[in-house]
A and B are shown apart, each in its own frame.
Chain A
Amino acid sequence: MSAHIENIQSGRRDFLKTGLGLSLAVCFAPGRVLAAPQGSHDEALVANAFVTVGRNGVVTVMMKHLEMGQGTHTGMATLVAEEMDADWARVRVQSAPADVAKYKNLKMGIQATGGSNAMAEAFLQMRQAGAAARAMLLAAAARQWNVPLASLTVHKSQVIHKASGRNSDFGELASLAVREVVPEQVSLKTPAQFNLIGKPLSRKDGLDKSRGRALYTQDVRLPEMLTAVVVHPPRFGARLQSFDAARALAVKGVVDVLAIPNGVAVLGHDFWSAKKGRDALTVAWDEGQAFRGSSEEMLSGYRELARTQGMSARRDGDGEQALAGAATRIEAGYDFPYLAHASMEPLDCVVRLTPESCEIWNGTQFQTRDQAVLAKLLALKPEQVKINTLYAGGSFGRRANPHSDYVLEAAHIAQAYAAKHQGRATVKMLWTREDDMRAGYYRPMFHHRLQGGLDAAGRPVAWSQTIVGQSIMKGTVFESFAVRNGIDHSSVEGAANLPYRIPHIQVQLHSPTQAVPVQWWRSVGSTHSAYAVESFLDELAHQGGQDPVALRRELLKGHPRHLGVLELVAQKSGWDKPLPPAKAGERRGRGVAVHESFNSYVAQVAEVTVRDDGSFHVDRVVCAVDCGLAINPDVIRAQMEGGIAFGLSAALHGAVTLQDGQVDQGNFDTYPVLRMPEMPRVEVHIVPSAEAPTGVGEPGTPVIAPAVANALFAATGQRLRRLPFDVKALRRA
């Protein structure tokens, strides 16, 4: 494979030549300094925007993507190290500064991490960066030893001239390589030459994260930093009327109480003082425009809406006529609640303002979007807003807010404080768990109405799906390309692209507007569409007297990658053999689901044991995944395990509900999440593939809930059409 450089085209030389220009040396806690390598040419080779080689031979790979648990730092570094033939033990990673010119996501046009697309978008770019650095180091060695380039090889960061027995480490060559020309063209390895890609290399963040040393926004400590906690309105749309700060200011350690656009901020020398100050604060709200509805009423409205004509997202044949003429017709409605992301690290952000600059410390998925929003607020140029990307304690989409909501809030607090202090402020905003849970930007509530028709032989001939739920793209900067002809693609993905060969298919959409803010949530539209589609296909299979795997196999002809994961999961789960019998007082069942999201294909088989009282346990999940070329099989396994846990957590427990406009949930007692005893055994099998790599952060999530629901049906004959599951329906009659 020679270098296909179309993804960097005209900017290629700029890309290869761009230096780092870093000057990040920030004092944290006493005695703790976070310093980046300076990347200056007399100390090291700054080969390009992504690769620096130190005199000590350490290769530093600049990370344009946020590491939020998905393993992207390890994956990106693997690509660079592979093409450099670098010693993996001496490769380190560092978050890149926000810079759209150097570090944009090639699929998104801004510096952003999302859509499970990092590996897909940067696969060639990172390899080219590594290959270019290698070429400069080789050129330096060839010049020094006066030997032809072609006579040199590289092994574990050692450049070797076999004929003369000479060798030199990258560290020794780095300062010489500075003088070499940045290559115009680089050759990339063929897959047969890969040494690191495809190996279960250990994670670059594993050591620090097992020792409490990884740095998150919550941990940042800067000189003269204040901690801010906030009071948000009790309902969406309510506005601050007035507040009495006297009692708050009387709390020792509280420094100031400030009005901000979405409430009040209490600033203190530490979190606990600020929190006590907040508890002592009296606030009055203007609720004239506030949302007063309930989620249950909204859902009833959605069910009504689903019986009316929606916008057409797909129309093959004539679904209505085919339904009318079908030998058997079935209909089902599926309900999905609002969901909170509930990452372990509640939202937080550190801002340092001076009259000429803004500096942010945050684990953000949207570096240059945040940068643009802050620049506008502060009347600065984007380059005057410096973003330091730290590890995020989870995110699942939440730290990619199109409005930069929490980042903007932190900046508002700093701005309000700076207005009283010569334009200077250093503020760490910490949301409590309850703030995080109640601030909105949920996975939207959805209702799907499904109708299906079978012919006399039990084969599906008609499929009609009407989807009702808020658009997450409308009103954002992404609307112009994500919403076409009124259809928000993210509302219908996983349904409008139904892979099953059914002659008449129609998919329609209603996108009602609500006051509750919504956002993407790990696997986006597939979080609901996969459940509705894979449950209803199971209903059709049972109605037609067909085995759920056999029916899918039949309907997926022409979709080899769907079929590939289906066959692999059927084989590895032993689908053709009966489940071991249940013990007295228990029922067992097995279910399957298949779904593609973000161009990765996942099939899962779940086995469940249901007790007489309806409670159940998922005993075993067998998962097959096709994500193209497997860069790191262990990271892929980890993401499938984690995706299954995340999806199962939502299926078993997840629901944000509202009554009289107020969110009922606040913490993990009222918004329970999956815990250790509920975690099934997981077996992950990766389809060998030479296709271009695709992502794994999200695609494992949407498949588990329908697989479990189908297993529960097999065990009990009860179909669960509302999430989260209500186990009362599973009681033995």
Chain B
Amino acid sequence: MPKLTIDGKEIEVEDGLNIIEAASRIGIDVPHFCYHPALSVVAQCRQCLVEVEGVPKVMPACNTYVREGLIVKTNSERAVKARKATVEFTLINHPLDCPICDKGGECPLQLTTVEHGPGYSRFEGPEEKKVRKKYYLSDKIIYDPNRCIMCTRCVRFTDEVTKTGELGYNGRGFRKKIVVFPGKKLDNDLAGNVTDLCPVGALLNKDTLHEERVWYWQFTDTVCSLCSNGCNITVGVDPRKGKVSRVRPRTNMDVNEHWICDRGRYDFKEIQEEGTRLRDPILREGEGFKRTEWDEAVSFVAQEIAKAKEGFSQSIAFLASATLTNEELFLLKKLSETKTPSKAVGNIGLINEPKRFGLLSTDPYPNSSGVKEMGFPYGSNNVLELIESIQQGWTNVLYVAGLDLFDLVIEEDKESLRKALSKLKLLVVQDYKLTETVRFAHAILPGVSAYEREGTFTNDRGRVQRVRKVIDPPGTAKPDWEILTLLGQSLQAESFNYSDPSEIMLDIASNIAAYKGINYDNIGTLGASTTN
């Protein structure tokens, strides 16, 4: 471990670090554009220039590596002047149209200019800046060559991370611009990451073009719910609209490194808008439905469950989705076992091919691991057997949480499922949107969507991570853990005494071996591993 001195402070760090990384360890920020920890070092932007004792020229910190006895000055007059000049050069042909640029407010160039720039430009005649046309690199991403500072992060991303090589540059010197290879589009599954990598507003999302103003947003660190990988994300919500405006990756080297896939990034619009939301509890009344209050709905469902549990064990069954949190699954399992143990089955997804780019899993659910670990018999046999049991009339009370039965059967079997569901004595559906299953329900308990949930998911590598509420549910809909708590209290008050998901996790930790010792503190923002 070499010892070196940066700005008079001595530090000891591991070999192989460059000066940008080493300086950041002691809180010194060396501004940079082209350097990115996941990409090769090209030292092109020249923004990271620092003084190295014994070297006559200022050196790029990104391409200067730690070694014993190195003395680096990031704040010497020469280094500061060189970086100031770099900003001025960078801005010569940059349009300075921040007021209409989506990147404004979170733009590394803007921030660097404020922090390290000269605060003025001696370049005159803005009408004579280079002006070139914008063009699309894909259906989703637009490129503005005028704003581009040629850091080549985007090109290196497609060369080195996705290895799909769609991007290149064309022209030399001041004519240089980023292009897609003829006949190609920048449309690989991770393509959207270039919009985060770009240190200026040169690569923007077409979907939200001119809609984004980052300073209005509130950001929440959470995980993606769209597959079993559990990529760490930060979600930006515009509180004026109460809607998700942006999903972007959050670095977690054990899960998704720096990236997310384009589904996770772009599909929030559809997820937010898909289907009809269930806003209030609903009970069946004759042939129709009536909206009701939670008190009434909960006591009705609790009574019916209690009644059914007095019958023979097959007659009531609980069906859980792998979109529920560990806490919710734990409560549902507990509910199924309250008073007498009854049938409980979980539906999970399968990983049947290697993850694409190491991220995208074929299991479309965030918590198949949780379903297994909270003790639900799982797998398609168990699910089909339950459906069979309904069709045979052995099960006549069914509690479904978070899924649509019609998604689980093939087209030809849907008609017989409809018949079976209409024969049920009681169907309780806890879900956030109107599904075909909901249409057969006797009691509808409105839960929350992916962005409204609070709890933990366990990803397919056994990492327990927090999912956070980023927006409020509509109407009087309640978080699923709360619905289950209310039902539990109605059935057996003393053992369902939870006021927060963190308390449920404490119970999980003391009941399920793999979760021993796990709590919300040690899960933190990056997760904790289950033991197995």
The answer on A and B forming one complex is: no
